[in-house]
């Protein structure tokens, strides 16, 4: 018997994950990569960076680009930077995954549809299938979806189900090009630990403040040092107003303590070693409207 790796040619491809906010793009990326490289939360618009997750399956390697949700409501400096990121990402990829919520095509979805490239394959991921019972109810909607344009595939699934993510990888495989891999076999992400630390803290911040905190709040890692096994991290949560600062800190500092503790636990699990985490809350009013500040905080590539 010959081993499959010796006679199966290697394949490699870059895959953009696009869709309006909250359809489940980050959840999907995490499921496809099988590790927590992107953050998820109930709050819309939590993904601001292009995040590369890499997954290798047999002879095939997929490099994923997670793009921010489309901004159609608030057009200030921050959102312009985000939209440029989406357009840039689509120009470089081999395959596009357009994520929709099963049964819904909102005006914001149509905005995304308009920028889908004509010259490369687009697979529609019809996500959150678990919310539709019985599934047959979806059939007329799927037929309507198929009329919108030519799609390479339409895949109803749940990003929260491992088996579905695995099935999607198999469906995507033929769309990769034959050729060498772009990354090591065990690579998960090309993002630094410093970046991942900021993402984890930002996830806890939004999870534990619910919808009270405006999405313009952010996290900056001010210091990241490794001393033997220990990572010593100093982070700042930047908010727009003093009222938001009080909200993050919470009564008697309880909320900030919980945010820090949960973030530290996740970082320790991801980095596989002890973490000393110090978190400050700082006010910087109107930063999201200030182009220079947006650049300084790293939202432009």
CB of 114 to ligand GTP, least distance (A): 18
CB of 159 to ligand GTP, least distance (A): 4
Nearest to 57 by CA among 137, 131, 165: 165
Distance CA 110, CA 121 (A): 18
Does 130 help bind ligand GTP (rule: CB under 6 A)?
yes
Does 47 help bind ligand GTP (rule: CB under 6 A)?
yes
Out of 60, 127, 209, 216, point to the residue binding ligand GTP (CB under 6 A): 127
CB of 46 to ligand GTP, least distance (A): 5
Q: Starting at the earlier edge strand, list the strands of the sheet with 275-283.
A: 218-227, 230-239, 275-283
Distance CA 209, CA 211 (A): 6
Does 108 help bind ligand GTP (rule: CB under 6 A)?
no
Does 74 help bind ligand GTP (rule: CB under 6 A)?
no
Does 85 help bind ligand GTP (rule: CB under 6 A)?
no
| Choice between 47 and 209, CB closer to ligand GTP | 47
Nearest to 63 by CA among 21, 29, 109, 98: 29
Out of 15, 16, 23, 256, point to the residue binding ligand GTP (CB under 6 A): 23
Out of 46, 60, 209, 217, point to the residue binding ligand GTP (CB under 6 A): 46
CB of 101 to ligand GTP, least distance (A): 8
Does 40 help bind ligand GTP (rule: CB under 6 A)?
yes
CB of 135 to ligand GTP, least distance (A): 13
| Choice between 183 and 215, CB closer to ligand GTP | 215
Does 25 help bind ligand GTP (rule: CB under 6 A)?
yes
And the tokens for 156?
Answer: 């109803």
Site stretch for ligand GTP (CB under 6 A), options 39-47, 104-112, 199-207, 289-297: 39-47
Does 128 help bind ligand GTP (rule: CB under 6 A)?
yes
Does 44 help bind ligand GTP (rule: CB under 6 A)?
yes
Q: Cite the annotated binding site for GTP by residue number.
A: 19-26, 66-70, 127-130
Does 202 help bind ligand GTP (rule: CB under 6 A)?
no
Does 121 help bind ligand GTP (rule: CB under 6 A)?
no
Does 69 help bind ligand GTP (rule: CB under 6 A)?
yes
The answer to whether 129 and 102 are in contact (CB under 8 A) is yes
Does 45 help bind ligand GTP (rule: CB under 6 A)?
yes
Site stretch for ligand GTP (CB under 6 A), options 41-49, 170-178, 204-212, 230-238: 41-49
Q: Could you list the residues that contact ligand GTP (CB under 6 A)?
A: 19, 21-27, 40-42, 44-47, 69, 127-128, 130-131, 158-160
């Amino acid at each position: 018997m010959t081993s499959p790796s010796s006679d199966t040619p290697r394949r490699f491809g870059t895959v953009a994950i696009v869709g309006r906010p909250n359809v489940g793009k980050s959840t999907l990326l995490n499921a496809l990569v099988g590790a927590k490289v992107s953050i998820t939360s109930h709050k819309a618009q939590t993904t601001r960076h292009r995040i590369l997750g890499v997954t290798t399956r047999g002879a095939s390697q997929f490099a994923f680009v997670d793009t921010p949700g489309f901004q159609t409501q608030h057009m200030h400096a921050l959102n312009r930077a985000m939209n440029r990121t989406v357009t840039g990402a689509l120009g470089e990829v081999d395959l596009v995954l357009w994520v929709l919520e099963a049964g819904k095509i909102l005006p914001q979805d149509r905005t995304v549809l308009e920028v889908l490239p004509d010259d490369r394959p687009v697979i529609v991921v019809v996500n959150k299938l678990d919310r539709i019972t019985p599934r047959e109810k979806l059939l007329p909607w799927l037929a309507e979806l198929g009329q919108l344009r030519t799609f390479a595939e339409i895949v109803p699934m749940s990003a929260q189900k491992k088996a579905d993510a695995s099935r999607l990888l198999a469906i995507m495989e033929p769309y990769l090009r034959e050729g060498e891999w772009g990354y090591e076999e065990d690579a998960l992400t090309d993002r630094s630990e410093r970046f991942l630390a900021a993402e984890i803290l930002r996830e806890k911040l939004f999870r534990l403040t619910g919808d009270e905190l405006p999405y313009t709040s952010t996290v900056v890692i001010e210091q990241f040092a490794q001393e033997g096994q220990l990572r010593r991290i100093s982070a700042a949560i930047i908010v727009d107003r003093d009222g938001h600062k009080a909200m993050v800190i919470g009564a008697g500092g309880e909320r900030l303590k919980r945010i820090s503790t949960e973030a530290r636990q996740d970082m320790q699990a991801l980095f596989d070693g002890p973490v000393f985490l110090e978190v400050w809350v700082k006010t910087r009013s109107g930063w999201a409207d200030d182009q220079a500040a947006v650049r300084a905080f790293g939202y432009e590539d």
